[in-house]
Amino acid sequence: MTTTPIDPKTHSAAFSVFGNAAFDNHEQVVFCHDKDTGLKAIIGVHNTVLGPALGGTRMWSYANESEALTDVLRLSRGMTYKSAITGLNLGGGKAVIMGDAKTQKTPELMMKFAEFVHRLGGTYITAEDIGMETADMDLVRTVTPYVTGISEEKGGAGNPSPITAYGVFMGMKAAAQHAFGSALLEDRTVLVQGIGHVGESLVEHLSNEGAKVLIADINQERLEAVRDKYQAIIYAGDNLYEAPVDIYAPCALGATINDQTIEHFNAKIIAGAANNQLADEQRHGAMLKERGIVYAPDFVINAGGIINVYAELEHYGRAEIMRKTENIFDTTLELLQMSDREDITSHQAAFNVAQQRIDARKRGN
């Protein structure tokens, strides 16, 4: 009998967990399946040195299981460093559900997913991400206490998207201070790619400050609604990475800074809400630095959401949420200055500070 070799690039069944480039010493990877509801999910727990692994659940139509695995590994790792750099006593985790949130998400599927979360006994705490709403977290809460981002009427901190956007806005202003000598974004041209909940809130902040806002999204109806609401401009160019703007704000999926796009950027600053914006953290971070483009590390400036849901665990109110989120300005500016002073990328500067905090906790300090 002969067998045909499986090509891992084309066959979803052939993928490596421990050998995945994004694995990076994950503590736990849990595969969740339920035939009756159609649930296919992966939970990644990267690191719990600082506390339980908290991170949102994303529902997305992945091309295959390998793509879903890589996404959850990259995202959960990013949550470790996001919480560490923000000073939160949390580890890093994330979950992905494979499927179309518009057509395949059902209450039964979400409750079955909640059962898997509950079995982890608090090692992983879930929250809202792409494809999820606050109502979904309320439903998960009926099954397990290991969930944050529930509605305010049910005792939670509510939708984290506006706070995420405000943190990105603060980080963007810090980057402007570093690059232009002024944090004011009035009359600056900003391209926001991705007009979801976070992207729209960011557009609102930018419009209120007097920035000229360009928007891009795959959903034309959404684009037109946001354009009309905030007097934004729909970007009509062939290549949005070549847009002659001051600031590029990626607020959709990650890895838009890659070998194909990086040479086209005309923006002086990249500061957005998307996770894992650098396809290759070291190489692409260095390429941005060589080109003189100021990069506000994504896991630093998009931490507003986790600050918001962390309030449910630590029982602090709106005033403390806003104070911690506004501090993203100072943190970002300090990291950009460190990047220049030590001649390292801004991503590496942020990573170093976060890793130092994790290492100190490991030593018992």
Neighbours of 172 (CB within 10 A): 30
Instruction: Please give the structure tokens belonging to residue 70.
Output: 């890589």
List every span in the chain annotated with CATH 3.40.50.10860: 28-77+90-148
Euclidean distance between CA atoms 345 and 265, whole angstroms: 17
List every span in the chain annotated with CATH 3.40.50.720: 161-356
Please give the positions annotated as active site: 94
Q: Which helix (H) or strand (E) covers residue 91, if one does?
A: strand 91-98
Q: Which of 244, 235, 137 is nearest to 195 (CA)?
A: 235
Neighbours of 362 (CB within 10 A): 11
CATH code 3.10.20.30 for 28-77+90-148: no
**What global pTM score does this model have?**
0.89
Instruction: Please give the structure tokens belonging to residue 273.
Output: 């809400």
Per-residue pLDDT of the chain (365 residues), as tens digits, is 333 333 444 444 456 899 988 899 999 999 999 999 999 999 999 999 999 999 999 999 999 999 999 999 999 999 999 999 999 999 999 999 999 999 999 999 999 999 999 999 999 999 999 999 999 999 999 999 999 999 999 988 888 899 999 999 999 999 999 999 999 999 999 999 999 999 999 999 999 999 999 999 999 999 999 999 999 999 998 899 999 999 999 999 888 999 999 999 999 999 999 999 999 999 999 999 999 999 999 999 999 999 999 999 999 999 999 999 999 999 999 999 999 999 999 999 999 999 999 999 998 86
β-partners of residue 214 are 191, 233
Residue type, 291: R
Domain at 161-356, CATH from 1.20.140.10, 3.40.50.980, 3.40.50.300, 3.40.50.720: 3.40.50.720
- CA 92 to mean position of chain CA atoms: 12
